[in-house]
Amino acid sequence: MSKAHIYKRDHINTDEIIPARYLNTDNEAELSRHCLEDLDADFVKKVKAGDVIVAGEDFGCGSSREHAVWAIRGVGVKTVIAKSFARIFYRNAINNGFYIIESADALDKISNGDEMEIDFKNGLVKNKKTGMDISFNPLPDFALEIINAGGLLEHIKKKIK
């Protein structure tokens, strides 16, 4: 079961997700200790493996640092549900095999702490607390191909061979 961490804000940027003062490493475990630090210093204490971040428009805007995806994945977050994603973050998530969800109404239908079940295949978020279902468009086929391969490098590795 996944618990929701709600951030009702647009433009949550890469400096908030993983501040540049920690970019002197690319170690996922180290980065994850500072996940969302400048947005919510308590996030790393609250979050549990399998939890979900829910946010507004343009999530992950700013820098190209893939460290943002690593920090989020590293802390155990299963997926991010946002109204929209900044394009480099979107690419980075797909390239890392990290499934992210675009949903216009998730913020209205999920509250902080709600427990959810996510059916990636059928594009459905089931809010266990309210009983409400939120459908989303699954990622496009090319993105699924990359994700199913285990990320872009595994994907091209297969092609090279």
Partner 1 sequence: MAMTITEKILAKAAGLEKLSPGTLIDAKIDIVMCHDVTTPAAISMLAEKGIDKVFDTEKIVVTPDHFQPAKDIKSAELHKRLDEWARRHEIKYYYKLGRAGVCHALLPEQGHIRPGEVIIGPDSHTCTYGAFAAFSTGVGSTDTAAAIATGKLWFKVPASMKFVLNGKLPKGVYSKDVILAVIGKIGVDGALYKAMEFTGPALSGMSMEARMTITNMAIEAGAKSGIIGFDEITKQYLDEHLKEHKYYTHFESDADAEYESTLEIDCSSLEPMVALPHLPSNAVPISDCAGKKMDQAYIGSCTNGRIEDLRIAANIMKAKQVAIRTIIVPATPVIWKQAKDEGLFDIFYDAGCVIAAPTCGACLGGFMGVLAEGEKCVSTTNRNFVGRMGHPKSEVYLASPATAAATAIEGKLTDCRKYI
Q: Which DSSP letter does residue 29 get?
A: H
Q: How far is the CB of 131 from partner 1 (least distance, A)?
A: 33
Among 40, 50, 76, 95, binds partner 1 (CB under 8 A): 95
C-alpha 44/C-alpha 62 separation (Å) is 22
**What residues between 6 and 45 interact with partner 1 by CB under 8 A?**
10-11, 13, 15-16, 19-21, 23-26, 38-39
Touching partner 1, residues 59-88 (CB under 8 A): 61-67, 69, 84, 86-88
User: Which one of 96, 107, 118, 134 is in contact with partner 1 (CB under 8 A)?
Assistant: 96
- Helix H or strand E segment including 6: strand 2-7
Scanning 55-63, 105-113, 115-123, 130-138 for contacts with partner 1 by CB under 8 A, the matching segment is 55-63
**Which segments of the chain does DSSP mark as H helices, in order?**
14-17, 28-32, 43-46, 67-74, 87-95, 106-109, 141-149, 152-160
For partner 1, give the closer residue by CB, 5 or 67: 67
Q: Shortest Cβ distance from residue 61 to partner 1 (Å)?
A: 6
- Compare residues 85 and 118 and give the one whose CB is closer to partner 1: 85
Angle at Cα 141 formed by Cα 119 and Cα 8, nearest 5°?
50
108 part of the interface to partner 1, by CB under 8 A: no
Q: The sheet that has 115-119: what strands, in order across it? A: 101-102, 79-82, 52-55, 2-7, 115-119, 124-127, 133-135
53 binds partner 1 (CB under 8 A): no
